[in-house]
């Protein structure tokens, strides 16, 4: 009887895990369909969905995972969503979270590869409206996160200095330097007080053995794929190597990966410069992660595999290193952040992240979207609808796109 009860309990646990993973997928798919504006804007959408609307995470837990995503190489917003899925429903939840968030834009970008010569998004008013909506979403997220993560003068000062440093010296290297400096200053000044209790519900559902295997796989592929490429004459292997290294060696994600991808696919002649730029323009007009631009490149390239197969291969290779790193690091993250010294350092990192987001609100989010009084007025109206009227971001994004189509 006891064994039957235990078996029933295990079956119930598996069913619960699968049910939780399905909910994660549906939430991520909703975000994948509606999260316009690039990686910084995604933070705002994620916070609204997972912290405010669903209450799956506390504000500080969300900020800690965001800090982790900022530190690791790869697409920060995708890693953040993947980490949230891991916490909610284990490896299956993480995988389904990534699929749900990535699928809509991946399908759109691969489809665009088939009609690239017939579509122009560069001067579309609705695209301008989407960019303006992103300004409002990011502004709301920065303000809300600043209230929690910079509650005192030292952390406000740290955030302001971090923003100034990012604006003065552009590039992913400066972001890493700012985060490292925030950690050091947080430790020295002893920001945040004592270490918090880690809620059992927020603990990761990934074993240490799986984590070590993920880190080992990351390293083996990073070293082994170039050697395999040199030893074979396979275009598929060459693609896997090119996209995997691009995803593994870029900090900041999003726009930062574009020069690497251009070097990997345009220089050897796989994709023309014209097709590369056309795909980049289209990537600004679709929701979800900018890394799905890799799917377009794999689909539009000249040598086989191309089309759907090439697009899927490029996507998996580009995202894989980032996902392996999250699986490898997340199980140790609570132990790290639960230590008093590490908690003070993380308080400094979180303040620095607020500064990075504040800088990004100005450039590139604001500078790319606001080009005159009409744009500024629409951005303020969108922000008012979010903050005062408390409309859902989806309604504000749709309204901004319509307004952009009619007015801009």
Q: What is the pLDDT at residue 396?
A: 83
- Token pair listed for 268: 């050897």
Q: What is the pLDDT at residue 254?
A: 62
Contacts of 58 (CB under 8 A, 6+ apart): 51, 199, 202
Q: Supply the pTM of this predicted model.
A: 0.73
User: What does the pLDDT average to over 361-374?
Assistant: 83
Percent of the chain clearing pLDDT 70 (strictly above) = 87
Cα→Cα distances 368→74, 268, 336, Å: 23, 30, 37
Name the band, by pLDDT with cuts 50, 70 and 90, for residue 195: low
* pLDDT tens-digit readout, 305-344: 999 999 999 999 999 999 999 999 988 876 776 677 877 8
Contact 36, 287 (CB under 8 A): yes
Q: Which residue has the higher pLDDT, 196 or 21?
A: 21
Judged against a pLDDT cut of 50, whether residue 141 lies above it is answered with: yes
Percent of the chain clearing pLDDT 90 (strictly above) = 40
Enumerate the domain spans of the chain: 15-408
Dist. CA 161–CA 184, nearest whole Å? 14
Q: Which residue has the higher pLDDT, 11 or 264?
A: 264
Judged against a pLDDT cut of 60, whether residue 204 lies above it is answered with: no
Q: What's the whole-number average pLDDT of the chain?
A: 84
Report the interhelical angle of 393-407 vs 125-149 (nearest 10°): 140
Judged against a pLDDT cut of 90, whether residue 148 lies above it is answered with: no
């Amino acid at each position: 009887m006891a064994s039957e009860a235990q078996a029933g309990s295990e079956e119930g646990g598996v069913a619960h895990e699968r049910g939780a993973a399905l909910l994660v997928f549906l939430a991520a798919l909703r975000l994948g369909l509606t999260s316009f504006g690039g990686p910084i804007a995604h933070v705002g959408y994620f916070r609204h969905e997972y912290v405010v609307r669903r209450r799956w995470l506390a504000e500080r837990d969300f900020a800690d995972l965001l800090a982790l995503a900022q530190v690791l190489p790869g697409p920060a917003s995708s890693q953040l969503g993947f980490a949230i899925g891991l916490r909610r429903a284990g490896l299956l939840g993480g995988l389904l979270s990534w699929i749900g968030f990535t699928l809509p834009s991946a399908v759109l970008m691969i489809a665009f590869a088939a009609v690239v010569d017939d579509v122009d998004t560069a001067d579309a008013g609705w695209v301008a409206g989407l960019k303006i909506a992103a300004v409002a979403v990011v502004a709301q997220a920065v303000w809300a996160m600043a209230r929690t993560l910079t509650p005192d003068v030292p952390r406000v000062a740290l955030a302001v200095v971090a923003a100034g440093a990012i604006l003065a010296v552009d590039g992913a290297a400066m972001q890493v330097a700012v985060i490292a400096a925030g950690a050091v200053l947080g430790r020295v000044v002893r920001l945040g007080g004592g270490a918090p209790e880690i809620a059992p519900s927020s603990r990761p559902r990934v074993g240490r053995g799986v984590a070590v295997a993920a880190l080992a796989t990351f390293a083996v592929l990073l070293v082994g794929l170039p050697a395999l490429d040199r030893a074979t004459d396979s275009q598929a292997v060459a693609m896997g190597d090119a996209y995997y290294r691009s995803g593994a060696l870029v900090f900041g994600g999003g726009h930062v990966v574009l020069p690497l991808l251009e070097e990997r696919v345009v220089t050897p002649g796989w994709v023309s410069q014209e097709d590369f730029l056309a795909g980049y323009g289209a990537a600004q007009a679709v929701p979800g992660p900018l890394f799905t631009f890799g799917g377009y490149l794999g689909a539009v390239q000249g040598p086989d595999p191309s089309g759907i197969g090439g697009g899927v291969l490029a996507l998996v290779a580009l995202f894989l290193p980032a996902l392996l790193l999250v699986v490898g690091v997340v199980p140790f993250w609570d132990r790290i952040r639960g230590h008093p010294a590490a908690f003070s350092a993380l308080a400094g990192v979180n303040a620095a992240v607020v500064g990075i987001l504040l800088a990004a609100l100005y450039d590139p989010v604001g500078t790319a979207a606001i080009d005159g009084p009409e744009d500024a007025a629409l951005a303020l109206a969108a922000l008012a609808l979010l903050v005062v009227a408390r409309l859902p971001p989806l309604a504000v994004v749709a309204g901004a796109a319509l307004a952009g189509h009619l007015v801009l």
